Amino acid sequence: MINKIVASVDEAVADIFDGATVLFGGFGGAGEPQELFAALLRQGAKNLVGVSNSIGKGDKGLAVLIGEGRIGKMICSFPLIKGGEAFQQQYRAGRIALETTPQGTLAERIRAGGSGIAAFYTPTGVGTEMAEGKELREFDGVPCLLEKAIKGDFALIRARCADRWGNLVYAKTGRNFNPIMAMAAKVTIAEVDEIVELGELDPETIVTPGIFVQRVIKRGRA
């Protein structure tokens, strides 16, 4: 019997290893897997490569992992945000590497990673700093950059509701990067508000099919 529901959040993140690439869902506070962030902080893995829209802010989530020196490199679109001092300090001290990527390119690279697409050409970033070191090529008169897929060893995501097969639905703009990160990681761990019986989710409205999800943890079980 398939049962992807794990008993504790600490068990859910237990095998995240030093140096792993971890995709972190969430955008602007919505759809952030806060309990998974906290568990990863307790767990201790370090020198992680983090992939996320921003670098987190304030005194929770990704910002704390960064502040504690647990992230060796960030791939993100917003390395500079209000409240993001934790990252700035680490960066300016030379303790964290940074790959800045436009948000749409970041999303597409993650989707490509989850879809078996090795690389793609996009017009975004031509003529900017983002073009440095990247192949430039014209298609139908439009100059484009070659961008490569991003894959994760783990994805830590947040959803509203799951069943034991790992099917997921989200809450409003809490969807954001979560469904594509689920596709792009070897092990996707979903933090959810609610778990329902198999068959309660309408097949037509499932956003992330369970094939993309390896573990489900209900919030409040920590």
- CA 39 to CA 190: how far, in whole Å? 13
The site string for other proteins over 138-177 (x = CB under 8 A, - otherwise) reads -------------------------xxx-x--xxxxxxxx
Positions in 102-121 near a second copy (CB under 8 A):
108, 112, 115-121
Question: Is there binding between residue 133 and a second copy (CB under 8 A)?
Answer: no
What distance separates the 2 farthest-apart alpha carbons in the chain?
55
Nearest approach, Cβ of 130 to a second copy (angstroms)? Answer: 16
We find the least distance from the C-beta atom of residue 172 to other proteins, in angstroms, to be 4
Residue pair 152/186 in contact by the 8 Å Cβ criterion: yes
Instruction: Select from 44, 58, 123, 199 the one that contacts a second copy (CB under 8 A).
Output: 123
CA distances from 173 to 46, 100, 170, 192, 198 (A): 30, 23, 8, 15, 25
- Give the closest residue to 89 by CA, choosing from 100, 80, 101, 78: 80
Q: Could you tell me the two tokens for 122?
A: 């996009």
Task: Candidates 21-29, 42-50, 74-82, 165-173: pick the segment binding a second copy (CB under 8 A).
Answer: 165-173
Tell the smallest beta-carbon distance from residue 176 to other proteins (Å).
Answer: 5
